[in-house]
Structure 1
Amino acid sequence: MRMKSLKRLAAAGLIAATGLLGAVSGSLAQEVTLRLHQFLPPQANVPKLVLDPWADKIEQESGGRIKIERYPAMQLGGTPPQLYDQARDGVVDIVWTLPGSNPGRFPSTEVFELPFMMTNAEATSRAYWDLFEKHMKDTEFKDTHVLGVWVHGPGMLHSKTPIDELSDLNGMKIRAPTRIINALLGQLGATPVGMPVPQITEALSKGVIDGCVIPWEVTPALKVPELVENHTEFGGDHALYTTTFVLAMNKARYESLPDDLKKVLDDNSGQEFAAFAGRTQAGADGPSRQIAVDRGNNIIQISAEDTEKWKEAAQPVYDQWVAEMKEKGIDGEMLIDEARALIDKYTNN
C-alpha cells in the first residue's frame, strides 16, 4: 500500500511540474495586444482594404503572439486631430491619421499636398517614404515610431452645382482636409471650410458646405454620391491634390517588444508597405466612381489643356508655402525639387 501511495504522489508531482512548465512556456510566448485607433467607419475602404489586411498579416506572421485590436470611428474617444498625440502619449498603441490634421506641426509632409504635385498614389507614396526617412523621421516624427506613410489617389471636387471651369468655384463653400488644400481652394476662388472627413456627410446634408474635395474611394462611406450630383475630375499627368497619411506607433511600446516581434512589425513597415497602401487605396477609386455613374450623376472632366489654367491659378500656393517654410528654417524649394524628382523616378520605373 505504501508503495502505491508513493507512486501516486510521484505521478501527481509530475503532473503538477508539467503544468508549471506549460504555464512558464506560455508566459514566454509573450502575447502582445496592440490597440489601433482611427477615424473612419470599419466598412470604409482604408480600414477594410489596408489596415485590416495589414493587422491580419502582423497577427499571422507573429504566430498569434501579437493581437491587434481595431477601433474605428474614434471609438476610444477624442477627435481625429488628437489621434497622433494619442499614439505619442500611449493612450493607444497605433493610430492612422492625417499629419495635416495638426496644421503647421508636420510642415515637410505638406510638399506632397501642393497642387498638381502627385502623379499616382503608389509612386507618390514611395517618394513620401524616401523623403520621410531623409528629412522627417528624426525631426517632425521623432516622438513616435512610424510604421508607414502614404497618400491617396487623385483628389477631386464633388459639388451640389456643376464645376466646369475655375469661375464656378467663386464663393462656393468647399470642405478641405488640410491647411494646404484650404490655401489652394482659397486661391482658386472658393471659400475653404476645414473639417475632418467624418463630418462631411452631415455638413453636406445640412447645407453647411456646397461641396468637398476627397478622392473617389471614400465617397461611398460618406454617402457623397447621394448628397451631391456633380463630380469634377482633372486631365493631365498630375492630380489636383492629394493628402498625406501616417501610421504611427507609440515609441516606448515598440521598443518594449522582443526583437523577433519588432522584426514582424519591421517586415511590414517601410517603403513597400507605403506602396501597397497607396496603390490599394487608389485601387478603390474605380469601383467607388462607378457608384456615382450608376446613380446617373454628372461626371465633369476638365481637359488636360484647361487643367493648365488651374495650375497657373494655383502657383501662388507654392510661393506662399516656400515663404512659410523659410520662416521655419526649412528649405521649401529643396523639398519641392526632391519630391518632384522622387515622384518622377517612381512614376517612370
Structure 2
Amino acid sequence: MRKAFLALLLAASVTPAMAQEKNFELKLSHWVPASHPLQKALEDWGSAVEKESGGTIKYKVFPAQQLGKAFDHYDMARDGIADVTYINPGYQPGRFPIIGAGELPFLMSDAKGGSMALDAWYRKYAEKEMKDVKFCLGFIHSPSTFHSRTKKIVVPDDVKGMKIRPAHATMANYVTLLGGTNVQSSAPEVRDIIERGVADAVTFPWGSVLLFGIDKVTKYHIEAPIYVTTFAFVMNKDKYNQMSDRQKKAIDNNCNTEAAGRVGGPWGDYENSGVAKIKALPDHEVYKLSPEQTALWKKASEPLIKTWADNVKKAGGDPDAAMTELRAELTKHNALAQ
C-alpha cells in the first residue's frame, strides 16, 4: 500500500511537459588533453544544462581527439558525429572569414572581456557563417606570443627564413608576410614537429606551452600580447531541434555571452599563470619588447587587416561595419588593446 502511495506521489510530481520529453545524452567533443581547462569548461557546461533540463539532458565529454581530429570538429557537429564540439575556426583558412577579425594581432587585451565581446559581436554573423550548426558561444584565450627553439625573435625581420607553426590562418599570413615558412599542425602535434626540427617556433598561449610539453623543445619566449585565437562551441542542429521547449531553453541559457565569459575567463587565467612558470624554468629566456620594437610588429601586421577585409567582402560582408562593431564591443568589455 505504501509503495503504491509513493508511486502516485511521484507520478503527480511529473508535469505533462516532462512526461513528453525525450532523454538525451549529449556527446561533447574536444581535441585537447583532459587536463586542459577546456575539459572542465565543457563539464561545467554540461552540468548546467543537465540541471536546468531537470536531468533529461545528460552528457559525456570526449577529450583528446577521441571522436575525430581537431580540424574536423565543425563538420563533426554538423554531421552528428558529436553533439557539441569545440572548434578553432582558424584551422580552416577561408571558411569563416568574418570571425577571423578576432585573430588580428594587437586587437584584444583580456581573455574574459575579449570572449564576451567576441560572442556578443559575432552572434548575428554566425547565423550565416556557421549556418550548418547551432552556434552556442564564441570565446578567446589570453593574448599570446612566439616561442622559439633556435633563436630569439625580437623584431619582425627575425622571422625571415624560420619555420613556424602558426595558431591560425591570420598568424599564418603574418608569418608569410615576415618571410617565414608555415608548418601546419594541430596543437597536440606541436611538440613533435619542433622536436623533429620540422618547425623552429610556434605561436601559442603560455600555460599551454607547459601543458603540451612545448617547454621541453623551446627556449626563447617573447613576453608580449601579440595575438589571440578565436574559438567556439557549436551544436548539431538536428539534436537541438528534437528537444522540447524546456530543454531548448536549458541549452540557450548556456549558449550566451555570459557563458562565453565563463569559458574564456578561467582559461585566460590558466594561460596567464604560465608566464611565471616558464620564467622559473632553467635555460629559458623570457624577454619583453621595447616600445620601438612593438611599433615594428604592429606596423608589420597592418596588411593583415586588408586581407581580412578583402575576404569578408568576397563573402558578401561589410568589413568596415563589422570591425567598427567589434571594436565597440571590445571597448564596452574593457578588452580593446591600446
Q: Give the TM-score taking structure 1 as reference length.
A: 0.87
User: Does 2:330 align with 1:343?
Assistant: yes
Aligned to 1:64: 55
Shift, 1:29, TM fit: 6.6
2:249 to 248, 258, 263: 263
Report the 3-state secondary structure (helix = DSSP H, G, I; strand = E; otherwise coil) of the residue aligned with 1:194: coil
Over 3 Å counting, the alpha-carbon distance change for 1:292 and 1:32 in structure 2 is same
List aligned pairs for 1:174-213, cutoff 5 A.
174-213=164-203
1:303 to 282, 290, 294: 290
User: Does 2:274 align with 1:288?
Assistant: yes
Letter in 2 for 1:278: G
1:137 to 98, 121, 126: 126
- Supply the RMSD in Å over aligned alpha carbons: 2.5
User: Does 2:27 align with 1:35?
Assistant: yes
Letter in 2 for 1:152: H
Return the alpha-carbon distance in structure 2 between the equivalents of residues 132 and 320 of structure 1: 19
Shift, 1:33, TM fit: 0.3
115-124 vs 205-214, which deviates more?
115-124
Q: Which runs of 5+ in 1 are unaligned?
A: 1-10
Letter in 2 for 1:58: V
List aligned pairs for 1:16-95, cutoff 5 A.
30-48=22-40, 50-76=41-67, 78-95=68-85
CA contact (8 A) 2:110 2:335 kept: no
Aligned to 1:109: 99
User: Does 2:216 align with 1:230?
Assistant: no
Larger Rg: 1
Aligned to 1:152: 141
Shift, 1:155, TM fit: 1.6
Report the 3-state secondary structure (helix = DSSP H, G, I; strand = E; otherwise coil) of the residue aligned with 1:142: coil
Aligned to 2:301: 314
Q: Which runs of 5+ in 2 are unaligned?
A: none
Q: Give the TM-score taking structure 2 as reference length.
A: 0.89
Return the alpha-carbon distance in structure 2 between the equivalents of residues 175 and 325 of structure 1: 25
Letter in 1 for 2:100: E
Over 3 Å counting, the alpha-carbon distance change for 1:204 and 1:348 in structure 2 is closer
Shift, 1:130, TM fit: 2.1
CA contact (8 A) 1:147 1:269 kept: yes
124-133 vs 309-318, which deviates more?
124-133
Return the alpha-carbon distance in structure 1 between the equivalents of residues 127 and 37 of structure 2: 31
Shift, 1:183, TM fit: 0.4
Return the alpha-carbon distance in structure 2 between the equivalents of residues 61 and 94 of structure 1: 17
| Aligned residue pairs, count | 328
Shift, 1:27, TM fit: 6.8
Shift, 1:171, TM fit: 1.0
CA contact (8 A) 2:114 2:335 kept: no
Report the 3-state secondary structure (helix = DSSP H, G, I; strand = E; otherwise coil) of the residue aligned with 2:232: strand
Letter in 1 for 2:229: T
Deviations 1:239-297 (A, max 9, x none): 31111111011111112112222222222221001122121111102332233122132
Report the 3-state secondary structure (helix = DSSP H, G, I; strand = E; otherwise coil) of the residue aligned with 2:210: coil
Shift, 1:133, TM fit: 1.9
Report the 3-state secondary structure (helix = DSSP H, G, I; strand = E; otherwise coil) of the residue aligned with 1:74: coil
Percent of aligned pairs with the same amino acid: 30
User: Does 2:231 align with 1:245?
Assistant: yes
